[in-house]
């Protein structure tokens, strides 16, 4: 098969980008974190999305650095939670708002009511790490939600997000409200 010349290929790409009605979606954003989080001591986001979600009933949970899959730090994440409840089979469900401060702008995501859930794992399958720091059980979970706003590169983004994680929990007075560590915490933000 004959290859396009670099000049012709560049011209085709430029024409496609300029053509009315042609849109290219931003690629999905993947962020990861493994480790011991800090308590979220950041200011609450001053956005209508956060104010409407929080409704004076939310509280800060954790904050931590986030990395690209290559290991390069992309920024930080700060998390707020509300509406904690236990579901069938011992699952813990809640709503959360996550504010990412990234190199190229801020990005906010929010789960729906009971949008994030997890349940204890059999320790034979996933034994707790960091027992010396108080981890007693591993909860496997995650959630789904929507993009709630952003700045910089992320200002026009709308779409969804997913997160998945193993969380090492201890007594409520240990770690950050019982959260000792995150293991394989993964976020995928998918703009429309």
Angle at 178 between CA 177 and CA 180, to 5 degrees: 115
Quick check: is 44 in a domain?
A: yes
Quick check: is 43 in a domain?
A: yes
Q: Which two tokens stand for residue 158?
A: 């709308």
- pLDDT tens per residue, range 127-159: 999 989 999 999 999 999 999 999 999 999 999
Judged against a pLDDT cut of 70, whether residue 1 lies above it is answered with no
Say what the pLDDT of residue 89 is: 75
Quick check: is 181 in a domain?
A: yes
The residue behind tokens 């954790």 is 62
How many angstroms separate the CA atoms of 21 and 109, rounded? 28
Instruction: Show the domain range for 95.
Output: 25-191
> Tell me, what DSSP letter sits at residue 17?
H
Residues of the chain by 3-state class (helix, strand, coil), percent to 5 = 15, 50, 35
**Cβ(34)–Cβ(73) under 8 Å?**
no
Domain count across the chain: 1
Quick check: is 37 in a domain?
A: yes
Quick check: is 10 in a domain?
A: no
- pLDDT tens per residue, range 171-192: 999 999 999 999 999 999 999 9
Quick check: is 8 in a domain?
A: no
Quick check: is 14 in a domain?
A: no
pTM of the model: 0.84
> Tell me, what DSSP letter sits at residue 139?
E
Quick check: is 112 in a domain?
A: yes
């Amino acid at each position: 098969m004959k290859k396009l010349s670099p000049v012709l290929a560049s011209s085709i790409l430029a024409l496609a980008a300029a053509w009315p009605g042609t849109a290219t979606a931003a690629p999905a954003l993947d962020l990861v974190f493994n480790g011991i989080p800090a308590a979220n001591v950041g200011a609450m986001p001053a956005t209508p999305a956060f104010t409407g979600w929080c409704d004076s009933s939310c509280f800060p949970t954790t904050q931590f650095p986030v990395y690209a899959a290559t290991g390069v730090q992309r920024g930080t994440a700060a998390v707020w939670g509300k509406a904690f409840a236990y579901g069938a089979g011992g699952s813990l469900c809640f709503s959360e708002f996550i504010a990412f401060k990234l190199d190229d702008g801020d990005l906010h995501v929010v789960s729906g009511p009971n949008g994030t859930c997890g349940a204890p794992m059999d320790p034979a399958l996933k034994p707790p790490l960091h027992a010396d720091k108080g981890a007693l059980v591993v909860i496997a979970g995650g959630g789904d939600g929507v993009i709630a706003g952003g700045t910089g590169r992320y200002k026009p983004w709308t779409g969804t997000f997913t997160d998945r994680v193993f969380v090492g929990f201890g007594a409520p007075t240990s770690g950050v409200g019982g959260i000792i560590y995150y293991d394989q915490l993964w976020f995928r933000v998918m703009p429309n």
